[in-house]
Amino acid sequence: MILITGATGNLGKATINSLLNKGIPANNIAALVRDESKSDEFKSKGIQVRLGDYQNFESLTSAFKDVDKLLLISSSSEIVHRFEQHKNVIDAAKETGVSHIVYTSFAMKDLRRSSMVEDVQYHAETSDYLKQLAIPYTLMANTMYADMIPMLSGNNILEVGVSIPAGEGKVPFLPIQEMAEALAVVLTTAGHQDKEYVIAADTAFSFAEIAELISDILDKRVTYKQPEVDAYIAQFVQNGFSEEDAAYLARYTQAIAKGEFGTNKSDVKDLLGRSPISLKDFLGTILSK
Ligand SMILES: NC(=O)c1ccc[n+]([C@@H]2O[C@H](COP(=O)([O-])OP(=O)(O)OC[C@H]3O[C@@H](n4cnc5c(N)ncnc54)[C@H](OP(=O)(O)O)[C@@H]3O)[C@@H](O)[C@H]2O)c1
The CATH number of residue 45's host domain is 3.40.50.720
Residue 55 lies in a domain: yes
Tell me the CA distances in angstroms from 151 to 103, 106, 148, 160, one per residue in order: 26, 19, 5, 13
224-225 vs 2-4, strand pairing mode: unpaired
Strand order in the sheet with 100-106: 48-51, 29-33, 2-4, 69-72, 100-106, 137-142, 195-199
Residue 220 lies in a domain: no
Q: What pLDDT does 288 receive?
A: 81
Taking CA atoms only, the protein residue closest to ligand 1 atom 24 is 6
The gap between the terminal CA atoms of the chain, to the nearest Å, is 36
Q: 211 CA to middle of ligand 1, Å?
A: 28
Residue 48 lies in a domain: yes
Ligand 1 neighbour 261 (Cβ under 6 A): no
Q: 23 CA to middle of ligand 1, Å?
A: 25
Tell me the CA distances in angstroms from 165 to 24, 151, 227, 250, one per residue in order: 43, 13, 6, 8
Q: 144 CA to middle of ligand 1, Å?
A: 14
List, as own/partner pairs, every contact residues 61-64 make where C-beta atoms lie below 8 angstroms and the sequence separation is at least 24, other chains included: 61/92, 61/95, 61/96, 63/3, 63/30, 63/32, 63/92, 64/3, 64/92, 64/93, 64/96, 64/98
Ligand 1 neighbour 201 (Cβ under 6 A): no
Instruction: State the DSSP code for 70.
Output: E
> What amino acid is encoded at 6 in this protein?
G
Q: 38 CA to middle of ligand 1, Å?
A: 14
Taking CA atoms only, the protein residue closest to ligand 1 atom 13 is 11
Q: What pLDDT does 158 receive?
A: 86
Domains held by the chain: number: 1
Ligand 1 neighbour 245 (Cβ under 6 A): no
> How crowded is residue 201: how many other Cβ atoms within 10 Å of its Cβ?
23
Half-sphere exposure of 181 (CA within 13 A, CB side): 17
- pLDDT tens for residues 53-81? 999 999 999 999 999 999 999 999 999 99
> What amino acid is encoded at 261 in this protein?
F
Beta strands in 12-118 (DSSP E): 29-33, 48-51, 69-72, 100-106
> How crowded is residue 170: how many other Cβ atoms within 10 Å of its Cβ?
19
Taking CA atoms only, the protein residue closest to ligand 1 atom 19 is 9
Ligand 1 neighbour 10 (Cβ under 6 A): yes
Tell me the CA distances in angstroms from 58 to 50, 96, 175, 258, one per residue in order: 13, 11, 34, 42
Pocket test for ligand 1, best of 50, 76, 249 (most atoms within 8 A of CB): 76
Ligand 1 neighbour 53 (Cβ under 6 A): yes
Atom of ligand 1 nearest to the CA of 107: 1
CB 218 within 8 A of CB 125: no
Q: pLDDT at residue 15 above 80?
A: yes
Q: 73 CA to middle of ligand 1, Å?
A: 7
Q: What pLDDT does 156 receive?
A: 86
Residue 182 lies in a domain: yes
Q: What pLDDT does 141 receive?
A: 98
Q: What pLDDT does 274 receive?
A: 98
Residue 12 lies in a domain: yes
Residue 44 lies in a domain: yes
pTM score: 0.97
Q: 79 CA to middle of ligand 1, Å?
A: 11
Residue 243 lies in a domain: no
Residue 81 lies in a domain: yes
Q: What pLDDT does 231 receive?
A: 97
> How crowded is residue 75: how many other Cβ atoms within 10 Å of its Cβ?
22
Determine the structural domain holding residue 11 and report its residue range.
Answer: 2-142+174-199+264-274
